[in-house]
Structure 1
Amino acid sequence: MSRTRPSLTLTLLQAREAAMAFFRPALNEHGLTEQQWRVIRILNQHKEVEVYRLAELACILKPSMTGVLNRMIRDGYVIKRKSDTDQRRVHVRLTEKGENAFAAMKEDMERNYQRIQDQFGKDKMQELLQLLNEFKKINP
């Protein structure tokens, strides 16, 4: 009888859920979804990003990104602007409220990263991140 191979995709999803258990309480406390936090974090880092690139960086499907951004615009976290050179391209950046949301959550998020590292170990955390970054580079 052949044994079934362990599921890489299921294990990755389960690991993601284990990690998110540390962060969800802070997100809920600040009234943000996981997707909104990813957008805020990316825009804080990159300042302004085209919508299609933001969707890629945040791992949000483009049709879903439209809804996420519309809610974030409505709530005052981000603004969109058309490209100066190509009106079909739309750029997104944080508003002052979005920048303040990042600043308010930064310490909570860092504390949670530290809690994970304290339990998992600094060397193992660095190794895991290195392996995952290498894995992202393989071609299907």
Structure 2
Amino acid sequence: MSRPTPSLTLALLQARESAMGFFRPLLNRYGLTEQQWRVIRMLKQSPKSTLESRELADLACILRPSLTGVLVRLERNGLVRRWKPETDQRRLCVTLTDQGEALFDEMSDEMVRQYKRIQQELGDDNFKTLMQLLRKVQDLHPEE
């Protein structure tokens, strides 16, 4: 009897769940979902102070319809501001508010500590190799 082929996609999901275990307690303490944190992080770390919603969806790996709900909640909580430019009402622009910037700053030290814990547990060489391999997987292009 042949052995089943290991599932790359399942292994990646399981690894993600394990990694998120380092961050979920902090997100829960601040009342944020993973998607909300990704939006805040992308807005804060983008070289531009404002992102269009389609660009933000791509950077944060959130489907555009889901991003709408995430942004509504973040705006309601005073963390982001959304608007449509007068010159093109089809575009939706998003930026962090001062409160959103402050929240990122407040959380970032602990987030960095958790990343360092993961790196420490894996070892520097394994962490570096893992990140290189993940970048290679991200660059794969399935046949159309």
Q: TM-score range by the shorter chain?
A: over 0.9
Match of 1:42 in 2: 42
Distance in 2, matches of 1:86 and 1:122, equals 47
* Percent of residue pairs identical: 56
Match of 2:74 in 1: 72
Give every structure 1 segment of 4 or more consecutive aligned residues whose post-TM-superposition deviation is greater than 6 Å: none
Match of 1:10 in 2: 10
**Could you report, residue by residue, the CA deviation over 1:22-81 in whole angstroms, capped at 9, with x for unpaired residues?**
000111111111001000000001121110111111111111100000000100000012
Match of 2:132 in 1: 130
Match of 2:55 in 1: 53
Distance in 2, matches of 1:83 and 1:136, equals 33
C-alpha displacement of 1:7:
0.5
Distance in 1, matches of 2:85 and 2:20, equals 35
C-alpha displacement of 1:120:
0.6
Distance in 1, matches of 2:136 and 2:87, equals 35
C-alpha displacement of 1:84:
4.7
C-alpha displacement of 1:2:
2.5
User: Which region of structure 1 is more displaced relative to structure 2, 118-127 or 19-28?
Assistant: 118-127
Stretches of structure 1 that go unaligned for 5 or more consecutive residues are: none
Number of residue pairs aligned between Structure 1 and Structure 2: 140
Stretches of structure 2 that go unaligned for 5 or more consecutive residues are: none
Instruction: Compute the TM-score of the two structures, normalised by the length of structure 2.
Output: 0.93
Instruction: Compute the TM-score of the two structures, normalised by the length of structure 1.
Output: 0.96
Match of 2:94 in 1: 92
C-alpha displacement of 1:121:
0.7
Alpha-carbon RMSD across the aligned residues, in angstroms, is 1.0
Distance in 2, matches of 1:84 and 1:123, equals 50
Q: Residue type matched to 2:35 in 1?
A: Q
